[in-house]
Amino acid sequence: MLTAAPVPNANTGYENFEPYVSVEKAARYLDIKPKTLLEKARKGEIPAYPWGDGTRRTWRFKISQIDDWMKSRLHSVRRPPLPEGRAF
């Protein structure tokens, strides 16, 4: 699991600093293809931050926001949880 990098100077006020990650790292965290993640980001389906102007943007993500987004979807009406004891 990816974690936030520590900030060298604790006096800066950024103790809870979390870096933005690339589409590749975020997709690896979710275990999906980067192309799928980009499609979701462009549609506004997942928390993402565009970088740049025009249609060819670079997207950045925060792992904590992706994790919260995923947790909110785990027990949705569309996808009920798997019964206990069931293996993948």
Q: pLDDT by residue (tens digit) across 40-88?
A: 999 999 999 998 877 777 999 999 999 999 888 876 666 555 566 555 4
More confident residue, 13 or 16: 16
* pLDDT score recorded for residue 45: 93
Residue 39 has pLDDT above 50, yes or no: yes
More confident residue, 22 or 57: 22
Angstrom distance (rounded) from CA 82 to CA 88: 10
63 contacts 2 by C-beta, under 8 angstroms: yes
Angstrom distance (rounded) from CA 54 to CA 13: 34
